[in-house]
Structure 1
Amino acid sequence: MNVTIYHNPACGTSRNTLELIRHAGIEPVVIEYLKTPPSRENLVRMIADAGLTVREAIREKGTPYAELGLDNPDLTDDALIDAMLAHPILINRPFVVTPMGTRLSRPSEVVLEILPADGFKGAFAKENGEAVLDSEGKRVV
């Protein structure tokens, strides 16, 4: 299965998502989007394919969001996309693209919606110890 993750290795959610993908036996294409941001076309497509608005795809915490005045409700989607491309830290993460769909994997277990359920073998826990999959590879609710 062809899987791409737009990853920030400094982000725990992104690291957990990457490890969940690998736990499914898939080695994804890893794009460190802070070093290699997506094209405008890819960013717009990922946001739309994930069923998000542009505002829902912007990261506020730890970014220049406030300083750039991006909370202004009069800003267009195009202006927000421009800001995200100029400052990739504003792109919320991690976006994951698979043939089964695209998701902003926050929390990390959202990625399970777009990975084959039969690929998981055994338990998986996040870095903080929170169980995601049980010993049979089934989602812990």
Structure 2
Amino acid sequence: MAYRNQASGLVSDYANLRTIPAMLSVVFVIGGLYQFGGISDVTLTWLSSYTLTGQHAVVASMATYAVAFASSETRALDRYETWEKVAIALGPALILGEQYTTEVTDLLTKIGDPLGMQIAFVITVVSWGVAVR
């Protein structure tokens, strides 16, 4: 009987560990959608109708990216192929570049509106997937 409780506790602990990356993924994707225009406004009515800004999306995306990459089993860059390293670097570069430089935003808009932002969002999600594998 004690073994059975211990085994079910182990399974429960493992399930909880898998929940954290899933929650981080949701926060990352929502932050990316907001930053790249997939979601127009996020207003927290419980906080006197406080509206989130692009800065909030950047902080949320970068914080979850850093936590997820740091907790990844393959966080050593020498374990990645060259294209994976490029993908890992390109995600945060797009997130930060779109928020803080007009050149990146202009380039994405020149590709097409909203096509450029959609491509940037997909690139950041691919970057996330490679980084947290």
| TM-score in same-fold range (> 0.5) | no
Instruction: Give the number of the structure whose residues are more often strand, by fraction.
Output: 1
- TM-score, normalization: structure 1? 0.23
Instruction: Give the number of the structure whose residues are more often helix, by fraction.
Output: 2
- TM-score, normalization: structure 2? 0.24
